[in-house]
Amino acid sequence: MAALGSPVRTLRALLRELRLACGQGGRPYRHAPAYRHVLAAFRAHRVTSEKLCRAQQELHFQAATYLCLLRSTREHAALHREYHGKGERSPEEVAGLVGFRLPQQPGGKG
């Protein structure tokens, strides 16, 4: 995996993906349990002057991994919607998809 970058950038990207994933229903995404959990985890693991968090890198890695999962799932669903088969097609339509034309039948058929 490439460099993780800053935790704030990862958090923002993670919340954006959660908004895209959870915002489909009628309720706002900020009421989703996943949204509240991610914010609470990042707040609990931030480095302050009073304590040094040893699990910060671990949390950042887990957040980046979860971000990758959410992003990949969303992109997979978009590709699936775009390229999934629409049912059986006629031979003429299939030939047109790949840039061919079917030969004409003699006698005006086809």
Q: Is the pLDDT of residue 8 over 70?
A: yes
Give which of 82, 101, 83 is closest to 92, Cα–Cα: 101
Decide if 73 is inside a domain. yes
Which pLDDT value is given to residue 72?
96
Q: Is the pLDDT of residue 15 over 80?
A: yes
Q: Residue 44 is part of which domain span?
A: 7-98
Q: How far is CA 70 from the centre of its chain?
A: 5
Amino acid at 71: R
Decide if 110 is inside a domain. no
Q: What is the mean pLDDT of the chain?
A: 81
The residues, any chain, with a CB within 8 Å of residue 95's CB and separated by 6 or more, are 101, 102
3-state secondary structure the chain: CCCCCCHHHHHHHHHHHHHHHHCCCCCCHHHCHHHHHHHHHHHHCCCCCCCCCCCHHHHHHHHHHHHHHHHHHHHHHHHHHHHCCCCCCCHHHHHHHHCCCCCCCCCCCC
16-65, pLDDT tens digit by residue? 998 888 766 667 888 888 889 988 988 887 766 556 656 667 888 888 99
Which pLDDT value is given to residue 74?
93
Decide if 44 is inside a domain. yes
Decide if 2 is inside a domain. no
Q: Give 10 or 29, the one with higher predicted confidence.
A: 10
Q: Is the pLDDT of residue 13 over 90?
A: yes
Which pLDDT value is given to residue 52?
60
Number of domains making up the chain: 1
Decide if 107 is inside a domain. no
Which pLDDT value is given to residue 98?
87
Q: Is 0.85 surpassed by the pTM of this model? A: no
